[in-house]
Each structure stands twice: as structure tokens, then as C-alpha cells.
Structure 1
Amino acid sequence: MRVVIALDSFKGSISAAGAAEALAAGWDAGDEVVLRPMADGGEGTLDAFAVAVPGATRMPVTVTGPHGRAVEASWLLLPPTAEAPQGTGVVELASTSGIELLAGDLRPWDADTTGFGQAIAAALDHGVSKLVLGIGSSASTDGGIGMLRALGARVTRSDGSPVAAGARGLVDVAHVDLSGLRPLPAGGVVVLADVTNPLVGPRGAAAVFGPQKGLAPHSIHRVDRALAAYAAAVGAAADVPGTGAAGGTGFALTLWGARLLPGAPEVAALVGLSSAVAGADLVVTGEGSFDGQSAAGKVPAFVGALAADLGVPVALVAGRIAPDADVSAFAATASLTNLAGTAEASQAEPARWLRDAAASLAPR
């Protein structure tokens, strides 16, 4: 058999590349196994570009993380092209303002996207012709205000004083002055989003993703109203798909003039996923938690649809498969939690359980 392994990272547990290698290690030695680590704009996007693009260079940068402390991160400089003669900068929100940086100590009211904006500014200072931004795995619901301020915007309260960081400041927004924003690079800014949710409403940033970032149920409506008021303050629509990504950072980037695109198709094109799948007998995809949200732009849904279009069966492996997840499109599934007995055990040794998952998924 020819098997293509196209996994996303298992967030906080193992990278996409590491997960693919571990699954391959458990596969039948008689099969041809092709690795295509994937990402959708969230954690691992920088790594996917670094692996796929010859000559890509990591550029170190120190930023203010979502906990308010310094974080040693990097952005990626891609070699010059006709479209981007001074190179393209790839910046990942996950490694600069991401939820994994909090190590479980969630800060629903105070985490923000300042570090992401600082890394973008560093790429602009370098002189890149184009920016590609991955905005998944955010730690905050700040509407991207931290990022905008790092790029020169002024966001103030009714008395003219700067708002506080995070959602705490979002609820006090009265005025947004974008006149000081740094100009876009000549080749523009492309944003890789992993979800299609709007900024506000029952599918918005606060309602859907706020609880993951520690926002209490009784606070969701307050933050949702603050996001709506923020959109009204800048005279922009709050119902555009993708603007709710990364706690509203997608919305803030559209204010800057960036274009929102689904992340998984862009990364897939970069790594040549379609041509690899076309010659396969089986595709294996997956992520850390496969749940009801996984159908909205996440890697497994995209890879599954691509494989189906090419007539190739697809199997799913995940750290956990939630009860609300629809797995009807997959020929086989494997949950590391079920194999290990507990979520804690699977997260402690993901490579081991991925090897075991290969044995359960491989046709015999």
C-alpha cells in the first residue's frame, strides 16, 4: 500500500511532523508511507512552511507574551520570488500570543495579542515584500487590539486614556484611531485562519471560543457586546466569516487591509498534498481533539474532503474524539485516549500511542 499521513499537530502534546513520524514508525514496514505534516494557521504553521520551503530562515524575535512576560519566538523569512522580491515573512500567532504559552494558567480577561503584533512589526522592519500570518491557537479574546496597537493604532476609553490589555480593555473601547497603522507591505498580507466564525453572535469569537480561553459562561454576553461595540466604533461589519478567528484578530487584520483565507488549503498547496494523495491507497489525517468544531476549516475536514474528491479512503487518528464529532466520512478511526486508557496517559506519551494507533488503523 501507499499511505499518506497528513496530520495536524496534537496541540500541547506533539508537533505535526513528530506525530506523522510516530504514526509512520508503527506502520507495516511493507507499505510505502509518505509524510505530509499539515497545519491550518494555528500551532505548527511556521514549522510546515519551514519544512516545505527550501532556504526558509528563522528570524529570532523577543515579544510580550499573553502572560505579559517576554517570550523568545521567531518569524520565518521565505526566499525572494517574483511576487515578493524582498522575501515573504511568515508570522504565527500561536508562538507569540498563543494559548499554549500560558501552560494552563488561562487569562481570559488579560491575555492579548501584543506579541503577535510585535513579531509582525519585526518582519516589516526587515523589509519583507509580503506577509503570511497564521492566526490559530489564540490565548485571548481582545479583538486583535493588542496587535493593532503594536502596529501603531490608538484604542482609547471615553476619557481618551488607553484601554487596558485583553478583553478587560475591550469592554471599555470608545475610540479607535487607525491613522497611525503601519502601511501594508507592497505584496499585501494574507491571513491563514482555521475557522470561519464571524466576530459576534452565537457562532462568534466570545460564544464559541471564549470558554476555551477561560471565559466564564456569565461573561460571554458581555464580551460579545463589547466586540459588537468595537466593530461599530470602526464602522465595520461584524458578521463576515473568519473575523471571529483568534478572538477577533481576524477582524482586526481586515481593518488593516489583510485578506482572510482558509489556512489548510494554503498549507496543502505548499506541501504538495493533492499530488501525494492522488497516488495513495489510504490517507490518514488527524489532530489533538476531533470535535464538533473540526468541520469548520480544520485540517482533518479539509484532508478528508480532498481524499474523498480523489476517491481515496481516509482514516482519522486523534488524541480524543468527542461525542459530538461526526466521523461518518472516515473509513476507520483511532483515539489515543481510548488506546491509552486516559487523556493524561495519551498526552504524556503521544508518540507511543500513535505507534499503537497505526497498528489499529492499518488494513491487514
Structure 2
Amino acid sequence: MKIVIAPDAFKGSLHAEEAADAISSGVQKVYPCAEVVRLPVADGGEGTLAVLVSATGGTLRTVSVLDPLGRTIDASFGVLGDGQTAVIEMAQASGLLLLEGHELDPMKASTFGTGQLIRHALDAGYRKMIIGLGGSATNDGGAGLLEALGVRFLADGQLLQMNGEILPFINEIDVSQLDQRLLETDIHIASDVENPFVGEQGASCIFGPQKGADAEMVLRLDEGLRHLADETERQTGVRLHELRGAGAAGGSAGALIAYCGAHLESGIDVVLEAMDFVTHLSSADFIVTGEGKTDRQTLAGKALMGIAKLAKVESVPVIVISGTIEEAAREELLEWFSELHSLDDGKRSLAELMARAAELLENKALTVMQTKK
């Protein structure tokens, strides 16, 4: 028997690798002789770097960059097992988790450190990159990362240092010093965000509050991004304003598309392709996956849905064991997943479910496997 274990992270309680460990432990107690293939997944957000490096037998490289507030930190980029593809995770240099709660301020935060990570990968010779954009603390439209890559933003001839607050003052964008190595680099953005650059569904309005923006700041940030989009269209001919997905990571996706020629793709599709997931489905009896909450958003293209689509082509059943299952979505979910199991039995608090997630997940996997005997 061959069983593929491929969970996403259980946010707030388990990383994808930890979830895979727990499920594998439960499975192997019932099927000790089974071939168990561990392939934890991610959809472009936090954890994508670790998942891809682990799945492909790659390596990590640690470098010095600036955090969102300009402090020097150590951050890592990955190299896949192919030895040719660099993986940049924005959360490493520009992430929410790098800041204390009282430090969150998208007006002051910059993506400069992410640009430094990209430059370090270029310096190391990599001309193929996967950039995961989840978990950012920034709303500067990617201007900071472009600054690190050589783009100069000016106001009346004076050089600007970019962050969310400075965007409205730009009246000239000089790309003459943009790192020319980007022209020969194949950049794939891994993201599950479909929001445009600006507007009611744009980067500032939808994601600004979780990065520390109050109502007034949200309006100012959106105005700043709109100004940047206007200037970018004049400079590059690329219209970011309503572009689907351009609002990912406070507009960083838009910057990478317009100035670096990046391709925006479904995060889970990029990850599954990079780890050559489909080849592992050969002769698999079933897949066990899971996440913190499986609901209608899962159907919209999150990690589990990417797995389900590949599994459907290969006719491999997919069993879901998640923290919770949205009952209202169960019927729709069952069109893609063969079984749905929840750790939430209605008898435990959310705090207990999260604190005991690994134990509960292992026990649930064991119980589910016993029904396969």
C-alpha cells in the first residue's frame, strides 16, 4: 500500500511539516509496512520556502537583509534540489512575524529586504525564481523591493526612500539602474490572492487593517498605491489598477509584474509543480491532507484544492483531516474529496484544539486508517 501524506499548515498550531509528522505517525500505527510518502504543501505563503526545500532535497542560504522597519536581520532564501531554482519567501524579510504588535505600521514598512533577497539570489547566479508573497507587513506597492533592485523614485529630483507613506510624493521613476539580470530571469510569483492593486477589493482596503492600518490610513495607502499605479503605467505601459492578483503582499505582485516581468500564478500550482507532486501519485492508494479549516475558501483555489485537482486526474482518492470542516460546504467539498474528517468534535474549546493539534491529528489519522482495514 502506498499513502501520500500532504497537509498544509494548521495555522496558529502546526506547520505543514509538523502536521505531516502527526498524520504519518497515526497512519503507520495502522499500516506499519505501507509506503508512506510525506509531501507537506504550501500555497505561496509562509512555510513555502521550508516545504519546497524539504520536498526537493534543496538547501538554504542565509544572508543579511533589512526587516520591514529597516533593521538588519538574517534571512534565508532557498535553492531547490534541481540546483537551478531559487525560492524567495517574502515573510523572511518583510513579514508580519518579524514585528511586534506595537510595531505594525504599513505607512512606515518597506519591502526593501525582499528586494535584497532577490539580489542575493541573482548574485549567486540563479536565473529562475519562485517568489512566495504571503504574510507581508507591507503596503508599499513593492516600491521598496524595486528600490533594492536599482529603481530610483524621485520627487522634484530628490531621491526618496520608499514606504507606504512616501508613495504619493513620487513624480519620477528612473529605471535606468534596474538590475539588468532580471531581464534574463524567469520569475514565478506564487500567490493565492486575487485582489487588484487598488479600490475596495484592493491591497490596502482588504489587507491594510491586519497590518496595522486604521480607517484613515487605509484611504491614504490606497491613494498612494493608485498614484504609484498611475506613474507605473506611464513608465512601463502596464496598468496595475484593476489587475487581478496585483494587490498581493501590499501590491508587491504588481511591482514584480510591471518592472521585473514576473508571472503571477496560483501558489499551490507553482508549489506542486516544483515538488513534482504528480509523479508521487503514481500507484498511490490514497492521499491524506488537511488544514486548519476546510471551507468554501478551500474550493476557491487553496492548497487542498490544488491537490484534489491533480488527484482527480490520476483517480486517487483524497481524505481530508482538518481542524474544522464547514458543514454548509460539505456537499460541495465532497465533489472533490472522498472523505472529510474534523478534529473539532464540539466538546473542546478552540484553545484546546490548537494546543493539542498534533496529538489530536495523530489520533484522528489512526482512527480513519482503521476504517480502511
> What is the TM-score with the length of structure 2 in the denominator?
0.83
Classify 1:306/1:53 alpha carbon distance in 2 versus 1 (closer, same or farther; 3 Å): closer
* CA apart distance, 1:25: 1.3
Native 8 Å contact 1:39 1:45 kept in 2: yes
Residue number in structure 1 paired with 2:20 = 20
Offset, 1:188 = 2.5
Aligned to 2:134: 136
Return the offset for 1:293. 4.3
- Which of 35, 44, 47 is 1:44 aligned to? 47
Tell me if structure 2 keeps the 8 A contact 1:340–1:346: no
1:341 matched to 2:348: yes
- Is 1:61–2:47 an aligned residue pair? no
Q: 1:84 matched to which residue of 2?
A: none
| Aligned partner of 1:170 among 157, 164, 167 | 167
Amino acid at match of 1:123: A
Q: 1:217 to 1:310 in 2, by over 3 A?
A: farther
1:63 aligned partner, one-letter code = V
Is this contact kept in 1: 2:143–2:162, CA < 8 A? no
**TM-aligned CA distance change 1:205 to 1:4, over 3 Å:** same
Identify the residue that residue 106 of structure 2 maps to in structure 1. 108
Is the Cα–Cα contact under 8 Å of residues 163 and 172 in structure 1 kept in the other structure? no
1:65-104 map, 5 Å: 65-78=67-80, 87-102=84-99, 104=101
Alpha-carbon contact 2:140-2:167 (below 8 Å) kept: yes
- Matching residue of 1:264: 268
- More deviation in 304-313 or 336-345? 336-345
2:212 aligned partner, one-letter code: G
Higher deviation after alignment, 328-337 or 116-125:
328-337
Runs of 5+ in structure 1 lacking a partner?
Answer: 82-86
1:27 aligns to what SS in structure 2? helix
Compared CA separation, residues 327 and 38, structure 1 to 2 (3 A): farther
| Corresponding letter in the other structure for 2:306 | F
SS in 1 for 2:6: strand
CA change 1:275–1:200 in 2 (3 A) is: same
Aligned partner of residue 86 in structure 2, secondary structure: strand
Letter in 1 for 2:179: R
1:1-364 equivalences under 5 Å are: 2-27=2-27, 29-31=29-31, 32=34, 33-54=36-57, 56-78=58-80, 87-102=84-99, 104-105=101-102, 106-157=104-155, 160-165=158-163, 167-183=164-180, 184=182, 186-217=184-215, 219-235=217-233, 236-238=238-240, 239-254=242-257, 255-277=259-281, 279-290=283-294, 293-319=297-323, 328-329=332-333, 330-336=337-343, 341-359=348-366, 361-362=368-369, 364=371
Contact 1:195 1:298 survives alignment (8 Å)? no
Identical-pair percentage: 37
**Deviation of residue 326 (structure 1)?**
6.8
Counting matched residue pairs gives 357
> Once structures 1 and 2 are overlaid, which stretch shifts more, 29-38 or 249-258?
29-38
Cα distance change on mapping 1:326 and 1:42 into 2, 3 Å: farther
Report SS of the residue matched to 1:38.
coil
Task: Confirm or deny: 8 A CA contact 1:142 1:248 kept in the other structure.
Answer: yes
Distance 2:219 2:330 in 1: 28
Kept after mapping to 2: 8 A contact 1:285/1:304: no
| Paired residue secondary structure (1:132) | strand
| AA matched with 1:259 | H
The answer to whether the 8 Å contact 1:130/1:185 transfers is no
Residue 331 to residue 221, structure 1, CA distance change in 2 (3 Å): farther
Per the alignment, in what secondary structure is the counterpart of residue 246 of structure 1?
helix
Paired residues of 1:194 and 1:298 also in contact (CA < 8 A): yes
CA distance in 2: counterparts of 1:157 and 1:296, whole angstroms: 41
8 Å CA contact 2:13, 2:354 repeated in 1: yes
Larger displacement relative to structure 2 (124-133 or 24-33): 24-33
* Cα contact 1:149–1:155 (8 A) shared by 2: yes
Per-residue CA deviations over 1:304-342 (Å, capped at 9, x if unaligned) read: 233334443433344455788677314444455667833
Q: Give deviations 1:143-173, integer Å, cap 9, x for gaps.
A: 11111111111223467351552x2233444
Unpaired runs of at least 5, structure 2: none
Q: Take 1:362 and 1:218, find their aligned partners in 2: how far apart are those partners? A: 52
Is residue 5–residue 289 contact of structure 2 (8 Å, CA) maintained in 1? yes
Work out the CA distance in 2 between the residues paired with 1:292 and 1:162. 43
Task: Give the TM-score normalised by structure 1.
Answer: 0.84
Instruction: Please state how far the C-alpha of 1:234 moved relative to its aligned partner.
Output: 1.1
Q: 1 CA distance for matches of 2:202 and 2:327?
A: 22
Q: CA RMSD in A?
A: 3.0
